[in-house]
Amino acid sequence: MEIVGHVSGKEILKGRDALREVLSLGLGVELQITSDVLDRLTLKDFGKLKREVGDRPITVHAPFIDLNPGALDGYVLKATKDRFFETITVSRVLDAKLIVFHTGYHPQKVKSFYKSWFERALSTFEEVLENWYGKIVLENVFDETPENLKNFMRELPKDVGVCLDIGHINLFSKVPISNWFEELGDRIYEFHLHDNCGNSDQHLPLGKGRIDVEGIFELINQLKTEYILNLENKTPQGVKESLEFLRRKALWREK
């Protein structure tokens, strides 16, 4: 198990202060590579970020706003692939351990043409794998059950896993979180850990919302696979408070 702290795209564009604050906590980092970050930073800038992080683990969160890897509109699909391939180039410079992607799945939007959407999304991630040497993980967002992610896991090799976002599960899942572990357990390679009160995606520090974090760790600790924990709070202070919660509850201890 490795643990990283979220550094938002907005913070990356401001400079390296947020990055340094998260590193000062003894953690690695997950860098949110938004479209703005891709447009404004050079490969040399990403090289400087890598040198700042040093030997600590780096994971990358790919852009997702306005993108859809299963888009039926060819222009949207091309834009999505272009952004994904730009992210791969950046991830190589950063020597990232893995890249997190959203699938673009929304049950209410794609239900009537799910098969066509899924086939296109599957093809997109197959192209990503052809261009990336490491692991990728697909994150649940609006998913109401594990079924969509399970469909991808059936079709894609084990270089592809799941990023289980517990905040999104608390908001959108229609089944208990234990079902997600039962269906996807051996393919869960990363967790996004943050809290909310069940009405919006607040990304609160752990323990500040209504999620049973200790109960979730009982499930996490049963996993036999290697995984990464990302404290996905939007500020370094939020990451710090989540880390303090894990320490206080003895859910994570430094090696």
Q: What is the pLDDT of residues 131-178, one digit of tens each?
A: 999 999 999 999 999 999 999 999 999 999 999 999 999 999 999 999
Give the model's pLDDT for residue 157. Answer: 97
Mean pLDDT (whole number) for 70-77: 98
Of the chain, the percentage scoring pLDDT greater than 90 comes to: 97
Helix, strand, coil content of the chain in percent (nearest 5): 50, 15, 35
Give the model's pLDDT for residue 1. Answer: 85
For residue 226, with 0-12 CB atoms within 10 Å meaning exposed, 13-18 middle and 19 or more buried, which class applies?
Answer: exposed
Give the model's pLDDT for residue 254. Answer: 61
Confidence of residue 198 (pLDDT cuts 50, 70, 90): very high
Give the model's pLDDT for residue 129. Answer: 97
Alpha helix (H) residue ranges in 95-176: 107-110, 114-131, 147-155, 166-172
Distance CA 225, CA 133 (A): 20
User: CA-based Rg of the chain, rounded to a whole angstrom?
Assistant: 17
Greatest Cα pair distance, the chain, in angstroms, is: 50
Give the start-end residues of each E strand in the chain. Answer: 2-7, 28-32, 58-61, 98-102, 135-139, 160-165, 188-193, 228-231
Give the model's pLDDT for residue 31. Answer: 98
Of the chain, the percentage scoring pLDDT greater than 70 comes to: 99
- In degrees and rounded to multiples of 5, residue 219 shows phi and psi of -75, -45
Q: Is 59 helix (H, G, I), strand (E, B) or coil?
A: strand
Summarize pLDDT for 91-104 with one digit per residue, the tens: 999 999 999 999 99
Query: Which positions ≥6 away from 25 have C-beta within 8 Å?
Result: 5, 236, 239, 240, 243
Confidence of residue 34 (pLDDT cuts 50, 70, 90): very high
What's the chain's average pLDDT? 97
Mean pLDDT (whole number) for 92-117: 97
Q: Is 69 in contact with 120 (CB distance < 8 Å)? A: yes
Q: What is the DSSP letter of 186?
A: G
Mean pLDDT (whole number) for 177-192: 97
Mean pLDDT (whole number) for 228-246: 97
Confidence of residue 252 (pLDDT cuts 50, 70, 90): confident
Give the model's pLDDT for residue 253. Answer: 62
Give me the CATH code for the 2-249 domain, please. Answer: 3.20.20.150
Q: Answer whether residue 255 shows pLDDT above 60.
A: no
